[in-house]
Chain A
C-alpha cells in the first residue's frame, strides 16, 4: 500500500480546472496538434480517475514521452527555445496527470502549474492575458487550499480565501517589480516570435489600401498635449511616393539622405505617438513633423523612419507644425515630381489641356478644376472598385469612375504631373477615433489613406486630398461613416450636421459594445505605459529619483532582499497588532466588569461573558440591553476571529461611556 495520504475526489476536479485555466492560452500559441493532445491526456486521466480505467504502465508512459520528444523535434528541429520547450513542458505535464495517485502528486502538479502560467508570458504580455492568468493563479491557490484543507469550505469561500491571499501578496509584488533587476534586451524576444506584417510596404499598388482598411487592427495611438486638432488636419504622414509606372507607385530611392526643410507659420502640435509593432520603420507623424525624437530620423519628403525595425510597442514624443511653407524645389526633386508613366492616353492630355487653357496655367486653378471635375462628374467612392486594365488612370477617369482613395490620389497626381505641376502621393492614415475613456486617439488600419501633395510657387508643398472632393464624409467622420451613410441610403451632401450625427449615432447594443471596447483599449494603454513599458531605463530613472541607490545589479538585489524582509516584518507587526488589539479588548472588558462590580454585580473569575450577561440581565433589567451589546461585541472581538476596526471603536465607546446607576431598578 502507498504510504502517502490519498487526496479526496474533488481535489482532482480543482486541479483539472486550474490546469485548464493555466494552459488554455497555449492553444493559441503552440503548434495546433499540441493542445488537443494535451487535452486528450487530461481526458484520459479523467477516465482513470472516474471510470476506473487502468493506469498506464511505466513502459507506455516512457514510449509516449519518446514519441512526443520525436514529434516536437520534428516540428521545431530542437527541444530548446520557447516554442519547443513549452510544447514539451505542456505534453509532459499531461503525462504527469496520468501518474496522479497520492496527495503529494496533486500538490506537486499544482505547484508546477505556476511554471505553466509563467510560460504564457513568453508569448504575450497583453492585458487580457494578464487578467486571465491572474484568475489562473487564484484557481491554483484555491486548489492548493483544497488539498491542504480538504473539507468544510465551499468553493466560494475557498476562492474568496485565495483572492485574499493573492491581494496580500500585491505589495511585495509591486516592490519586487520596481526593484528587481531588469533583464536587459531580448529576454522576451526569444527566437520564433511571429513576424506578421501589417500596414504599408514600400510599394503601393491600386488595391493595397482597400485591402488594409478591412482590418480594424490598431495601427497606433496618439495622446495630444493639448486638444485634438480638427479632423481635417489629422493626416498621418507615412511614405512619400514619387515614382509611378502607371499601375503602381514607389518610393524614389535616389535622394536618400537629403533632408528637406520648411518654415513653420503657426504654433506646433505636440503629442505622444504609440506605435504598434509593424516590423517596418515608418513613423506616422502629422504634417509636418519638426525635430526627430531619439531613434528616429528624417527621410526625404518630410517623413520619419526609425533606425531599427519596430518589433514591439514603441512611443515617441513628436511635435508637428500644421501650418508651414516649404522652400523652392531642387532640380532633382522637381524632376522626380514630374515623372510620368511611359504612356498617357490622349483623353487625359486633352482634358488637362482644357484646364490649362481655362486657368491660364495658374497651378492652383488647375488643381481646382481637377477637384471640380471629380465632384461634378459621377465619381463614386467605394471599397469595392471594379478591376482596372492596362491603363488604370485612364479607365478610372473616363469609364469606371468608381474607386477608393488610392484611385483618386493616383489619378489626381497623374493629372497634375501632366499639367506640369510637381505632385506626389502620400500614404499614411487619416483621422482616428477619439477614446474619451483614455483621452487619446486610436488610429486603426481602416484609417489608412492616400492623398496628394502638389507644389505651388507661393506656398510650396500643399496637401490636396481628392477623396474629400468626392466623399467629404470620409475625412470628416471616417470610413465607417461612409459605409453607414451608404447602408442607410443617405446622400451626405444633402444632410445638415445634426442629421449626419443622427444617422451616425450607434444603435444601443453597438453603443454599449463600443463603449466597452473603448474602456478596454484605455485599460490596455495604461497597462502598457505603467507595466510593460517599465524598462531597465525607466527603472534606473526611478531609482535615481528615489535617490537611495545607484542602480547596480548587486545594489538592486540587496534592495529586493531588504524589502522582502521588510514586508514580512510588517506582516508580523500587523499580526501582533491584532494581538495587541485583543489585549486591549480584554482591558476594556475588565474595566466594564469593574463598573458593574461597584453596583454589586461582581463577575466571578470563572464566569464566561454569556453567563455574566445573563446574570446582569436578570438582576438589573435596566442594564439588560447595554449588557447584551457589550457581551456581543466582546465575544466578537475576543472569541471570534474578527479584527473589525469598527467593532473595536464601538466597543471602546460603549465600555467607556458605561455608567451603571447604583440604584437597582425594579
Chain B
C-alpha cells in the first residue's frame, strides 16, 4: 500500500514482525496481546498483566525480555516481602568501617514483578515509586536505575483470597493493563503438543538489544499526531470526565498515555502517523485500569469503555 511507501519510517516494523512471530510461537493464540505488550515497551511504559494463575503471564514477560535482548530479573511478591528485598540494602563493611549499598533485584533492565498484589502496600509502593522516579534512595543516597527500565507486573484478579489490591493512584503508573484469557481450542491443543515453553524461550534468537530499542523508541516519539487526532483524544478524555458511568474521569497523564501508546501501535503497523483506529485499538488496554465503574450493578469496565468509545464520533 502506498501509505507505507510514503511514510517516513523505514521498514523497521518488519523487525517487529519477526519478533512478534517469534513470540507468537511461544505464547500461542494471543497475537493481539503480544502486540500490545510490545507497543507498551516501545512507548517506554510499564505493563500490568492481570490474569488467573497459569495463563502464561510469566512466560510472556520472560519471552519479551528474551526477544528484546534485555537483562531480566524476576521478583516473586509474597506477603512477607519487604522493600529492602527489592531495592537492596546497605551493609556495614568491617574492612573499611563503612556502609556499602548492595543493589537489589530491581537493578535490571526488565523486571517481572510476579503477583504484585500479594505483597503488602508498603512493598508495592516501594516498587511503584521506583518505577516512577527511575531511581531509588537508600540511606540518603540516590541510585539511578538502569536505562531502559521496564516493569512487567502480574496480578491475580482481586477476588482471590490473600491479595492486597493496588490502589487506583498506583495503577496509573502502568501504561497498559492487559489480560491474556484462556487460549482457544486449537492454540491449547498446540500448547499441549509442543515443547516446554521455557525451552522455547531459550531457543529464541539473540534479541533486539538495548541500543536498537532506544533508537526505535525515539522513532516512536516522532510518529505524527495531527490536530484532528488530538481533537479525538481530547473528546475521549472529556467524555470520560462527563460520563456518569465512571467514578472519576481520565487524568491528563492518561491522555498522554493514550497518545503515546497509539504512536507505538502505529509504529508497529509501519505507519508514520497515528490514525483514530490506533487510538481505538489501544484505548481499552490504556483506559480500563484507570477508570472505575460508578455503580456496582452496571456491566464490567471493559464494556463501559467500549460503549464510551462507540459514542464518540471521530472528528
Contact = CB atoms under 8 A, between A and B. Distances in A.
Nearest to B310: A606
B314 A607 contact: yes
B227 A582 contact: yes
16 contacts: A151-B218, A152-B218, A152-B219, A582-B228, A606-B280, A606-B311, A608-B275, A609-B276, A610-B277, A628-B1, A635-B273, A636-B3, A639-B273, A639-B274, A639-B275, A640-B6
B224 A640 contact: yes
B294 interface: no
B277 A639 contact: no
Nearest to A647: B6
Contacts of B274: 639
Contacts of B310: 606
B243 interface: no
B95 to A, nearest CB: 27
B272 interface: yes
Contacts of A640: 6-7, 224, 226, 272-273
| B interface: dominant SS | helix
Contact of A608 (B1, B219, B226, B276): B276
Interface of B: 1-3, 6-7, 218-219, 221-222, 224, 226-229, 272-277, 280, 309-314
B38 to A, nearest CB: 19
A641 B224 contact: yes
Contacts of B3: 632, 635-636
Contact of B226 (A152, A153, A609, A638): A638
A640 B2 CA distance: 13
Given A152-B222, A636-B3, 19 more contacts: A582-B226, A586-B228, A606-B280, A606-B310, A608-B275, A608-B277, A609-B276, A610-B275, A611-B277, A632-B3, A635-B3, A635-B275, A636-B6, A638-B228, A639-B229, A639-B273, A639-B274, A639-B275, A640-B226
B227 A151 contact: no
A152 B309 CA distance: 32
Given A610-B275, A640-B273, A152 B221 contact: yes
Given A606-B311, A607-B314, A608-B277, A639 B228 contact: yes
A3 interface: no
Contacts of A58: none
B293 to A, nearest CB: 21
A357 interface: no
A484 to B, nearest CB: 55
B218 A609 contact: no
A69 to B, nearest CB: 42
Contact of B224 (A586, A611, A628, A639): A639
A605 interface: yes
Nearest to B214: A151
Contacts of B218: 151-152
A609 B275 contact: yes
A641 B273 contact: yes
B229 A608 contact: no
Interface string A594-620: 000000000001111111000000000
Contacts of B272: 640
Interface string A140-153: 00000000000111
Contacts of A606: 280, 309-314
A582 B313 CA distance: 18
A613 to B, nearest CB: 10
A133 B224 CA distance: 33
A552 B229 CA distance: 52
A611 B227 CA distance: 20
B1 A632 contact: yes
A67 B259 CA distance: 56
A152 B214 CA distance: 9
Which are the 5 A-B pairs with shortest beta-carbon distances? A152-B218, A605-B313, A608-B276, A608-B277, A151-B218
Contacts of A153: 222
B221 A151 contact: yes
Contact of B2 (A579, A608, A632): A632
A611 B276 CA distance: 10
A160 to B, nearest CB: 11
A609 B314 CA distance: 10
A609 B279 CA distance: 13
B93 to A, nearest CB: 26
B268 to A, nearest CB: 14
Nearest to B6: A636
Contacts of A635: 3, 273, 275
A635 B269 CA distance: 14
A632 B1 CA distance: 8
A153 B280 CA distance: 28
Interface in A627-643: 628, 632, 635-636, 638-641
Contacts of A639: 224, 226, 228-229, 273-275
Interface string A541-579: 000000000000000000000000000000000000001
Contacts of B277: 608-611
Interface string A143-171: 00000000111000000000000000000
A628 B152 CA distance: 39
Contacts of B227: 579, 582
A581 to B, nearest CB: 12
